Structure 1
Amino acid sequence: MTVLSVENLTLSYRIGRQWREVVHNVSFTLKRGEMLAFVGESGSGKTTTAQAIIGLLADNARRDSGKIVLNGEEISQWSAKRLNALRGARISLVPQDPGNSLNPVKTIGAQVGEVLHIHQKITKDEQENQVLALLTKVGLSHPEQRMKQYPHQLSGGMKQRVLIAIAIALRPDLIIADEPTSALDVTVQKRILDLLDILRRESGTAVLFVTHDLALAAQRADRLLVFRHGEVQEHGATADVVRAPQHAYTRQLLSDLQGSRLTIAPVSGQRLASAAIRAQGISKQFSLSKNHFLQALDNVSFEVPRGSTHALVGESGSGKTTLARILLGFEQADSGRVILDDIDATQLSVEARRQLRQKIQFVYQNPFASLDPRQTLFEIIEEPLKNFGKITRAERKTRVEAVTMRVALPLDLLNRTARELSGGQRQRVAIARALILEPTILVLDEATSALDVTVQAQILALLQQLQQQLGLTYLFITHDLATVRRIAHSVTVLKSGQVVEHGTVEVLFSSPQNSYTRELIDAIPHFSPATKEYA
């Protein structure tokens, strides 16, 4: 039985006074229990097509032509009121950005319970039991406590699991999952997609999976639909597309995925002798409620040699981001020491700690949210220079232009705003802003997780080039072990705030000693078209 049918869908955006067509005559069907994956680079039309299906196009977007049919009933012309009754019950959306998708003033329990309250007649106790079961089902740690918390108290990965719990609450006919696991570590990613697979088998739920992760799509989806510039380049059974791609663009995507392993330069003996980062016995506890505490970090220690890349990996809630915030001086440890470039940062005054941030800079996870949309790129990159020291406008201009060229961005982009750039260009701007103060250490928090495979390969190559040219030290925070394998020299694995394994990437991947590390590695999505196998 066909759950969804899209016929010759054409969509446009209003740019100024003009309408620009961005999705061109897209057609496909989706059957009960089937998963169809939309893949393609940022700006290819994947998300816009998905938004049109559920009636959530942006205010400056419109459907020019085409039909959308759900369970044999055309919903293209439905009013917002009719579509509201449909959402949650028959069709659900797992949005891409968990940070902006939950109500900041409602508890997690109230937000998950809301969809149950709207569509079911159940008691308060029954609703609470169902909410608890859903949060447990999606693998959220300490679900009883999480029900009472607010979104700002959860990590990005935890928020995404809450959104998935909301989406699956009523076992809808269709789930549109827009990058549903981009903020999740590999083990939770596997758990969530396994859960969607169970729903597909048991309830016949169809899944439209929008993703930039081609390996994940190839592993999970029954069929692939490859987008580029708003057009379908290729559409077919996953096995056929992966093993014998017909379109040059699909072949390029697969080539980028398989051939993007970097040749990591060894760290010199001189650099190994001196550590750029030393964390010694770091512990941190947070209060969850009057009598409940969370031990976010428990006696964590590691060192990062100068000029090397050290990866910090672990599940959401493992303490990675808390540790990074302590290193950056945004949080204070309860105990332990942080030594950066031979400076003990633990006892510094507020002003001295602020000045130390010239040595250690941060590159955020989301290039779409970390850049001010009101500023030009020149203003974004220049801003740190205004915050530290007094230099002339002419010197600021020279340094902005120099770092812009260093990250391979054309100078004529400097007068534009971030909204005019692709995801990869925005991340280059974020890297340029971090480099403008000439730091010795960069902390990169999931710096490539929001990027498609081609752009991700370009950014990783850029980071490697910058490290070799400038002698930078990287602390790479990520849940993506495939990326760790490509860029890092060494790695620390965190679980529940404790170090469970530490060593070189080669040794850790070839012979992991801890069962948790083995679980992380086993959960990495991969496929091998050459041998006609994918796992």
Structure 2
Amino acid sequence: MSIFAVQGLTVDIGGRRIVHGIDFAIPAGRCLALVGESGSGKSQSCFAPFGLSIGVAGGSAVLNGAQLVGAGEATLRRLRGRDVGFVFQQPLTALTPHLTVGKMLSEAWRQAGAPRPGRAEMIAALERVGIEQAGDRLDQYPHRLSGGQRQRVAIAMAIAHRPKLLVADEPTTALDAVLRADMMRLLDRLRAEEGMAMLLVSHDLASVADHADEALVLREGRMIEAGPAPMLLRAPDSDYARALIAASPRLTDPAPPLGPVGAPLIEARGVSVSFERPGWRRGRVTAVDDAALTIAEGEALALVGRSGSGKSTLGRAIARLGPIDAGDVRFGGTSLPDRKAMQPADRAGLQPVFQDPIASLDPLWRVADVIAEPLHNLQPDLDAAAVAAKVAAALTEVDLDPALADRRPSALSGGQAQRVAIARALIASPRMLLLDEATSALDTLVAGTVLDLLGRLQRTRGLSILMITHDLAVARRLCHRVAVIDAGRIVEEGPMEKVIGAPSHPVTQKLVAASH
């Protein structure tokens, strides 16, 4: 008997049909994966039947014998809390910003009707999903966690009450290759031991092939092909599925041609960052310890490490977007001032592009306002016509239609939103970009086009790039060199091909092995 089954499932938004009659069933202990590019209807197919999207579900969706389509909110709320765990794609927006991790975990137990957990039980739940220093994390708020740590908290909350069905929308997107494999093995074990069914959305096609039982390929809300996941993803019948697979970067791909590099642009020495321990504990936690990086003009450096290794903290310290306890950062031969003393002209040269494309854009602003924001500080004398012309040129440069300027971020796809974020960075005419997991939230086809765009911009503008990522295969598409960080320390650094071909540090060896 199936835990969850849909027949003729449709989803409509504003009178427009975006999912067109799909069918699938998931028995206990089995995993079905939905794959496809952004906008293919994967997430809507997962969440609309449960009343968790603006889409209106039609057809049939039966959870453990209960019909979801047409059910009232009270019924849906009871079924969601008791029988289902949800992992959403964007952990920062899925977690409650004013609650600590411990309070959110406790709430997850309460909503499932379980007794309030003790501190030891919550620590065990965090350790189960690979969170280190779990006792400290209980007292922290989501903004103090790395993207990978936030995703692990979301997974811990979703499985805390031992649900019959886990609906996981990109559950390992923000995790490094080692932890991604560990997390999928954990979910495999839960399915085997507890008979939990899993509905998985993922653009990590290698992971789908290794861990899902069945796969269903969607395009524009329609079923393109379905079958056993290992067979479908290794020998697909459809051209579309073959294109998805071909777009997935691999370390075995030929090395891409990269542009020439010039004189040093960024020189960071002795960078250290620490944070106060949360809650009642005294002392400080060291996040970055005596790190040093150099990036030349026109060069792309990948800062790679496991989730929570300190890579984003180091990148933000270098760009003067976050705190720094000690160290000197020179940009073009001149030491950058403290972040509180940074002037608009200081920030113009190094512009960031963040991990979550939607969350990094103001939801109340039009695209034109988002992109033009840097100009208000850097070129305040420009009139409205000149600003509009620059916005249109920036949209064109990132391969977007200038007509998108009047849209709100909520009306953009993930790939469009990330291109808008890149356009906002480029309009300041920077010499360097800081890319903080800038493609990890995108599907393989869209991520590939964004990487191609960044490579073209690097060549045409001579941009330097600091690329923060947990994915070596993605970094190899763009980067000349790689620096590996672990527990806040740079443990290995060198040319990309040399490091991935003969890694010397155990951490690097694990990352390379997990990326194959």
TM-score scaled by structure 2?
A: 0.94
Residue 25 (1) aligns with residue 12 (2): no
SS of corresponding position for 2:406: coil
Aligned-CA RMSD value: 2.1
The 8 Å contact of residues 11 and 22 in structure 1, kept in 2 or not, is answered as yes
Which residue of the other structure, out of 156, 164, 177, is the alignment partner of 1:173? 164
* C-alpha deviation, 1:425, in angstroms: 1.9
Aligned partner of 1:2 in structure 2 is 2
Residue 241 of structure 1 deviates from its aligned partner by 1.3
Q: Which residue among 244, 249, 267 is the counterpart of 1:278?
A: 267
Task: State the Cα distance separating 1:510 from its structure 2 match.
Answer: 0.6
- Give the residue type in structure 2 aligned to 1:140: I
Shift of 1:316: 2.3
Could you say what secondary structure the match of 1:371 adopts? coil
- Residue 56 (1) aligns with residue 52 (2): yes
Distance in 1 of aligned mates of 2:219 and 2:95? 30
Alpha-carbon deviation of 1:119? 4.3
Determine helix, strand or coil for the equivalent of 2:425. Answer: helix
Aligned-partner SS, 2:289: strand
Q: 1:195 aligns with which of 186, 191, 196?
A: 186
The equivalent residue for 2:369 is: 379
Instruction: Label 1:258 to 1:386 Cα distance change in 2 as closer, same or farther (>3 A).
Output: closer
Residues 129/508 of structure 1: CA separation in 2 closer, same or farther (3 Å cut): same
C-alpha contact (below 8 Å) 1:116/1:170 kept by paired residues: yes
Q: Secondary structure at the match of 1:286?
A: strand
Is 2:478 the counterpart of 1:493? no
CA distance in 2, matches of 1:259, 1:317: 24
Shift of 1:456: 0.9
Alignment of 1:157-306 (within 5 A): 157-257=148-248, 264-266=256-258, 268=260, 271-272=261-262, 274-289=263-278, 290-306=281-297
Report matched runs for 1:63-462 at 5 Å. 63=57, 65-119=58-112, 122=115, 127-257=118-248, 264-266=256-258, 268=260, 271-272=261-262, 274-289=263-278, 290-346=281-337, 350-352=341-343, 354-393=344-383, 394-462=385-453
* Residues 419/52 of structure 1: CA separation in 2 closer, same or farther (3 Å cut): closer
Structure 1 stretches of 4+ moved >4 Å:
118-122, 258-263, 346-349
Maintained 8 Å contact 1:262/1:486: no
CA–CA separation in structure 2 for the residues paired with 1:12 and 1:313: 41
TM-superposed deviation, 1:114: 2.4
Which amino acid in 2 is paired with 1:95? F
In 1, Cα distance between equivalents of 2:5 and 2:258: 53
Q: Check whether the contact 1:174–1:205 (CA below 8 A) recurs between aligned residues.
A: yes
Please tell me whether the aligned partners of residues 404 and 432 of structure 1 are also in contact (alpha carbons under 8 angstroms).
Answer: yes
CA drift at 1:380: 2.0
Distance 1:494 1:198 in 2: 30
**SS across alignment from 1:42:** coil
Please tell me whether the aligned partners of residues 442 and 475 of structure 1 are also in contact (alpha carbons under 8 angstroms).
yes
Q: For the residues of structure 2 that align with 1:344 and 1:202, how far apart are their CA atoms?
A: 57
Q: For structure 1, which segment, 328-337 or 172-181, has the greater mean C-alpha deviation from structure 2 after superposition?
A: 328-337
- Matched AA of 2:56: R
* Matching residue's letter, 2:3: V
CA positional deviation for 1:75: 3.2
Counterpart amino acid of residue 34 in structure 1: R
Distance 2:158 2:173 in 1: 16
What SS does the corresponding residue of 1:276 show, helix, strand or coil? strand
| Distance (whole Å) between structure 1 residues aligned to residue 412 and residue 320 of structure 2 | 31
The residue that corresponds to 1:42 in the other structure is: 38
Residues 445, 128 of structure 1: CA spacing in aligned structure 2 closer, same or farther, 3 A cutoff? same
Amino acid across the alignment from 1:39 = V
| Letter paired with 2:373 | E
1:349, CA displacement in angstroms? 7.5
Residue 411 of structure 1 and its aligned partner are, at CA, apart by 2.6
Q: Are residues 121 and 463 of structure 1, via their aligned partners in 2, closer, same or farther at CA, if it must alter by over 3 Å? A: closer
Amino acid of the structure 1 residue aligned with 2:192: R
Identity, in percent, stands at 39
User: Normalised by the size of structure 1, how large is the TM-score?
Assistant: 0.91
The amino acid across from 1:247 in the alignment is S
One-letter code of the match for 1:47? Answer: S
Structure 1: gaps (5+ residues): 527-535
Distance 1:167 1:39, change over 3 A: same
